[in-house]
Amino acid sequence: MNILTKKLLLATAITLALGSSQAMASESMAAKEQGSSLTNARQEAQIVTTYTLNPYLRSHDLSVAVHNGKATLTGKVEDDVHKELAGAIAAGVQGVSSVDNQITVDANYKAQSRGTNPAERSFGDVVDDATITASVKSKLLWSKHTEGMDTKVITKDGKVELSGSVANQQAKQQAEQLAKNTAGVRSVDNQLQIKDKAASKASDRQSDTDKGSMMADTWITTKVKSTYMYSSNVTSSDISVTTDDGIVTLAGSVSSGAEKALAIELAQNIRGVKSVSSKQLVYEE
């Protein structure tokens, strides 16, 4: 009887151990599958978000599915360049090991036009407008002619509206030019008003600006480079900027005399800049 009991207990223990082992294996597999699903979802979201923010792809109806590191792309675009771009973006996401680009190229495909109804605006449109507003505000803040103005900047569908007060006509025109030369801007509605109070404040600021040396050379260099980066008519990557005691030196290449003139003008307008040397900035006619 004792032998039988011991055998039963042993059999029960083995059964329980096997059951427990199987349960642990099932739980481990479930956790692994859940982790894999979360990774797939994260990679899909990253690709889709990048498409949404990209100005060349956001208006296309593209779908993304990721499974175990393989991204499958479907949808339509109007040319091969956009298809290649979509594939390159997906391949650049961490964890994506291969891309099955099934996107169809259709020359007759018409991408969705940018909506004017706020309800139709995509997330990419909102980000674009916010970026333009920030860029214009920064350029106004850094300029010796417009810094400190009581200015409000609103952007909607690439159309910038300037309102508030400025010191004089030059400041008003400068603000409009800075906004127009900002990447992504379609038009500028300049509603700035000239007020004496603003002129008084501007005079005080100009007195400080005239000292020039008060502005750090590194600050000036950074703001000149940033202004180029935000501008639509200057190729910032081809221009080198250095500053020594408020004197800015530009070097590199530009595509035209107009681009060179604009690069010089933008640098001259930065607060603290005493002069601009452009002898090393060349272009081929």
Q: In terms of C-beta density within 10 A (0-12 exposed, 13-18 middle, 19 or more buried), how is residue 285 classed? A: exposed
Degrees, nearest 5: CA angle 148-219-271: 40
* pLDDT, tens digit, 9 for 90 and up, residues 48-84: 888 888 878 887 889 999 999 999 999 998 888 989 9
The C-alpha atoms of residue 221 and residue 278 are separated, in whole angstroms, by: 14
User: Of 80, 84, 73, which Cα lies nearest the Cα of 105?
Assistant: 80
3-state secondary structure of 6: helix
- DSSP assignment string, 231-284: BSSS-GGGEEEEEETTEEEEEEEESSHHHHHHHHHHHHTBTT--EEEEEEEEE-
**Hey, which CATH number is domain 118-209, 3.40.640.10, 3.30.1340.30, 3.40.50.300, 3.40.30.10?**
3.30.1340.30
Place 210 in a pLDDT band, splitting at 50, 70 and 90: very low
2-105 sits in which CATH class? alpha beta
Q: What percent of the chain has a predicted confidence (pLDDT) above 90?
A: 42
CATH topology match: 2-105 vs 118-209? yes
Report the range of poorest mean pLDDT among 17-21, 104-108, 145-149.
Answer: 17-21
- Across the chain, mean pLDDT equals 81
User: Which residues, listed in sequence order, are joined to residue 160 by a DSSP beta bridge?
Assistant: 155, 188
Q: Where are the domains of the chain?
A: 2-105, 118-209, 211-283
| pTM given for the model | 0.63
Question: Can you tell me the distance from the alpha carbon of 201 to that of 196, in angstroms, rounded to the nearest whole number?
Answer: 9
Residues 120-129 have pLDDT tens digits of: 667 778 888 9
Give the C-alpha separation, 281 to 78, whole Å: 38
Helix axes 2-53, 123-142, angle to 10 degrees: 60
Average pLDDT estimate for 31-48: 80
